[in-house]
């Protein structure tokens, strides 16, 4: 459970820092258009911080982290977030400085989304296993 709390905390810091970076970088570059960088802040806070806090609450209730498949969820989901928002940041910086996005960036971003999907499938599989179990009989 500590790993989940730490992940939520890291994503909170990254989300706030990315918001500050977006604001200051676009101001410094005198950029007023639209950029994918503006979405990174929300993605990190929602998918990262809020997502892991919800998983933490569900883990407290259903002991999801005790299942042997839990690390697969944790690492696939983390990798998906990092790759997805990383590519949003790269594309956003390229937009702000007036360059085209690097070739193949969409493929990498797609891979990040695919890793998120695999992580979410793992998570719902874990949750389904715990919800499908019959409760332990009351102790006398």
Model confidence at 138, pLDDT cuts 50, 70, 90, reads low
What's the rounded mean pLDDT across residues 22-50?
96
Model confidence at 1, pLDDT cuts 50, 70, 90, reads confident
Tell me the domain boundaries of the chain: 2-129
| Per-residue tokens: 83 | 């790759």
The DSSP result for the chain, as a single string, is -HHHHHHHHHHHHHHHHHHHHHHHHHHHTT--S--THHHHHHHIIIIIIIHHHHHHHHHHHH-GGGSTTHHHHHHHHHHHHHHHHHHHHHHHHHHHHT-PPPTTHHHHHHHHHHHHHHHHHHHHHHHHHHHHSPPPPPP-
Count other Cβ atoms within 10 Å, centred on residue 22. 22
- The predicted model scores a pTM of 0.89
> Residue 5, Cα to own-chain centre: how many angstroms?
14
pLDDT of 137 over the 80 cut: no
């Amino acid at each position: 459970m500590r790993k989940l709390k730490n992940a939520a905390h890291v994503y909170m810091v990254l989300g706030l820092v990315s918001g500050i970076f977006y604001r200051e970088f676009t101001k410094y570059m005198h950029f007023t258009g639209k950029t994918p960088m503006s979405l990174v802040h929300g993605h990190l806070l929602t998918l990262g911080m809020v997502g892991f806090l919800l998983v933490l609450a569900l883990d407290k209730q259903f002991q999801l982290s005790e299942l042997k498949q839990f690390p697969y969820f944790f690492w696939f989901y983390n990798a998906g977030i990092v790759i997805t928002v990383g590519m949003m940041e790269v594309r956003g910086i390229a937009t702000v400085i007036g360059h085209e996005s690097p070739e193949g960036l969409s493929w990498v971003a797609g891979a990040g989304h695919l890793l998120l999907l695999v992580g979410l499938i793992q998570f719902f599989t874990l949750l389904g296993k715990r919800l499908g179990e019959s409760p332990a009989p009351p102790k006398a």
